[in-house]
Structure 1
């Protein structure tokens, strides 16, 4: 079987490695990747900028050489510029020579990923305005920031918040902008963002929220000023962190998509055509809390989808169960985690939900040290089914969000969670785990 893979970051890498392990020489895999690197963990850019990860090469977990050693044929600096899904061929451009050629396939994997959202506003092409996505962006940010004094980060999502902290740790003046009136508003409700905003401010990050950037101005073709709908701000470097959009222009009109271009897939990750798969950031995901297609570009989704697509290459054997969009971020001293829907998401979609919020300690109060845990559950008002959760603490309670993710995936209710069996040992938790406690509070 001849398989072509378009794009090779997380999903493409996972698919290729798994398919070659499963089928060996039964599959002939050719990968077309327009960059000269693969598998870069963009979530590590802020760690590299902040000096936590000294060697950026360690943010790669595979390479063209490693994929070649599996028996695959990675073609780097090759861009697919046209696709005919009926006749099963792709038109490819060698970006080094300019040559174009056709290649045919039996199965096609669309793992073309995503690209940062770039606003169409005056001054966007000025020097000093940077993107944050791939390895070369990371090097560009670091090199340019060495001589920058006042840096603006546009977008207060995970990447924006992490970059703001990293720049501040490097001794820069930092402004963090967002069109919403809160940071991390896509992920967290106000009980959490109020605390995190205070944490950022206390560490010297200037928050400029509820303002829309409408123009960049420059001197000598280099950015020097940010204009919003409410004010003007000086900056000698800008990083855009406004989210991502799917790289799926080639497939418009050929497959079913969400409005933003994310490709819809069935439960076996076909694009409703058995010979065409879409995975990773190029695809919409099935969001289990709401049973709807959503766009949630996460490396975890990409790796899982790429692996499942490999299992389904010959026959439909493994179902993609969807995602809860489970994720986390560290903001100075706070460890923050979320899964499923937030209260804000529910309000935007007019969902009939209720919420419960509580503050517990992670260990018994007789222990020498313990930390507060902030926890919120979003649940269906009628069925009491758990739909989302947010957890935050200065302690490392990361695995608790995975527990909530499983609870959502398995349609658990508040009663189920309240009386779930969790172990107790004073070094780690309390007789009633805080997950039990928050659910008990909701049902009492």
Structure 2
């Protein structure tokens, strides 16, 4: 069996490793247009902030490691075209310029995503950077050394983490977003208010409800960011506006969402036989809304890549969908969320109710008993749990993994009230915070 993998991303690496282990007779060829593979881009802010000292630790595989498993990785090779009917590929060696053809029995598409780059006047100026791969991270660190004023455009997870990292390094940081709140897709206002307060307390300037109109500068280098509400000095600008799937190669050839995310079934099969896809190039089945959605997360990618391998010959292991569970640490605040916020539920047209509690995470007789705020969102008629969020100075983020399981299994708020959780005064109260929230709701 000849297996070709396009793109050695999180999903690609998982698919390659598991395919090599499951099918000893498989001939696996990997085409990757970059000169490195398997970089954990979620560690960029930690690297920039100095928490991670050695960037090599952010690589979790290499062509050498994959070769040991029997996979041939051809880096600096770009796939120019794919004929899904004839099962052939046209490939270019980016070092020599040579083009050649290859063929496959099974094709795995793990081409990942790429940052959205809007058409804004002046975007070609020097020192306007993206944050995605290993080279981006090195360039950001190099350019930020001499930068005094840094503007981050986009207040999602990456933008917020970079803003904190730059501020920790002593820079004047402005965080711009067109929404009126940071992290607005992941958290409701009760949580973003606290997160914004924490950023402002440390000196990060928030420029929210503002859209960038143009970048200005002299001698080809950026000096200012102009929005519809103000002008901000900038020696360095980082664009963190979001991501789009890297799937131009397959447009018109496979079923996709409007943004180009490839639609796969529960066994990671695309609309074409013997063609599989996984990771950021794909749509995922989003359990809270029971539909496919684009949610590029490393967790989704490694699960999907692993499932591709297990289902390569015949469907054996079904994908259970995702809740988009995620977390972030902002200075002393530990924050996590799963499923829908109240705000996003309205966007999808769901009628919901929610419960918000603030309580000590363990008994007040303990030496310390920090407060936590927890929210659970559920459907009004069915009482089905749709989402949850938590914030505390003590790390209680694992509760959102528990809530994720509840959403995945269509549990109701009534059931959550009486779920069995352990009690030990070091860790919690006789009623777990999730219990307490649900009890308050019913």
Deviation by residue 1:26-63 (Cα, 9 ceiling, x = unmatched): 21110000011111111100000000000000011111
Separation in 1 of the partners of 2:310 and 2:347?
A: 37
> Gaps spanning 5+ residues in structure 1: where?
none
Q: Which residue of structure 2 aligns with residue 192 of structure 1?
A: 191
- Helix, strand or coil at the partner of 1:440: helix
Q: Which residue of structure 2 aligns with residue 389 of structure 1?
A: 388
Structure 1 residue 272: Cα displacement: 2.4
Structure 1 residue 236: Cα displacement: 0.7
Deviation by residue 1:335-372 (Cα, 9 ceiling, x = unmatched): 11010011111111221111111111111001001111
Q: Which residue of structure 2 aligns with residue 379 of structure 1?
A: 378
Q: Which residue of structure 1 aligns with residue 436 of structure 2?
A: 437
Separation in 1 of the partners of 2:426 and 2:16?
A: 43
- Helix, strand or coil at the partner of 2:46: helix
Structure 1 residue 274: Cα displacement: 3.0
The yes-or-no answer on 1:225 pairing with 2:246 is: no
Q: Which residue of structure 1 aligns with residue 57 of structure 2?
A: 58
Q: Which residue of structure 1 aligns with residue 3 of structure 2?
A: 3
The yes-or-no answer on 1:92 pairing with 2:91 is: yes
1:19-30 to 2 correspondences below 5 Å: 19-24=19-24, 26-30=25-29
Once structures 1 and 2 are overlaid, which stretch shifts more, 113-122 or 272-281?
Answer: 272-281
- Helix, strand or coil at the partner of 2:39: coil
Deviation by residue 1:110-162 (Cα, 9 ceiling, x = unmatched): 10000001011111111000110000000000000000000000000000000
> Gaps spanning 5+ residues in structure 2: where?
none
Separation in 2 of the partners of 1:289 and 1:368?
A: 39
Q: Which residue of structure 2 aligns with residue 418 of structure 1?
A: 417
| TM-score, length-scaled by structure 1 | 0.99
- Helix, strand or coil at the partner of 1:303: helix
Q: Which residue of structure 2 aligns with residue 315 of structure 1?
A: 314
Instruction: Judge conservation of contact 2:371–2:392 (CA < 8 Å) in 1.
Output: yes
| TM-score, length-scaled by structure 2 | 0.99
Once structures 1 and 2 are overlaid, which stretch shifts more, 113-122 or 270-279?
Answer: 270-279
Q: Which residue of structure 2 aligns with residue 151 of structure 1?
A: 150
Separation in 1 of the partners of 2:30 and 2:429?
A: 51
1:60-209 to 2 correspondences below 5 Å: 60-209=59-208
Once structures 1 and 2 are overlaid, which stretch shifts more, 265-274 or 281-290?
Answer: 265-274
Q: Which residue of structure 1 aligns with residue 348 of structure 2?
A: 349
Q: Which residue of structure 1 aligns with residue 46 of structure 2?
A: 47
Q: Which residue of structure 2 aligns with residue 265 of structure 1?
A: 264
Q: Which residue of structure 2 aligns with residue 295 of structure 1?
A: 294
Once structures 1 and 2 are overlaid, which stretch shifts more, 227-236 or 73-82?
Answer: 227-236
Instruction: Judge conservation of contact 2:84–2:272 (CA < 8 Å) in 1.
Output: no
Separation in 1 of the partners of 2:361 and 2:61?
A: 38
CA RMSD of aligned residues (A): 0.7
- After the TM superposition, which parts of structure 1 deviate over 6 Å for at least 4 consecutive aligned residues? none
Deviation by residue 1:371-400 (Cα, 9 ceiling, x = unmatched): 111111110101111010111111111211
Aligned residues: 442
Separation in 2 of the partners of 1:185 and 1:398?
A: 18
Separation in 1 of the partners of 2:119 and 2:109?
A: 27
1:321-332 to 2 correspondences below 5 Å: 321-332=320-331
Separation in 2 of the partners of 1:285 and 1:412?
A: 21
Deviation by residue 1:420-439 (Cα, 9 ceiling, x = unmatched): 00000000000000010000
Instruction: Judge conservation of contact 2:78–2:91 (CA < 8 Å) in 1.
Output: yes
Separation in 2 of the partners of 1:405 and 1:379?
A: 13
Separation in 1 of the partners of 2:268 and 2:252?
A: 18
Separation in 2 of the partners of 1:338 and 1:381?
A: 20
Separation in 1 of the partners of 2:348 and 2:303?
A: 27
- Helix, strand or coil at the partner of 1:269: coil
Deviation by residue 1:64-122 (Cα, 9 ceiling, x = unmatched): 11001100010000011111111111111111111111110111101000000101111
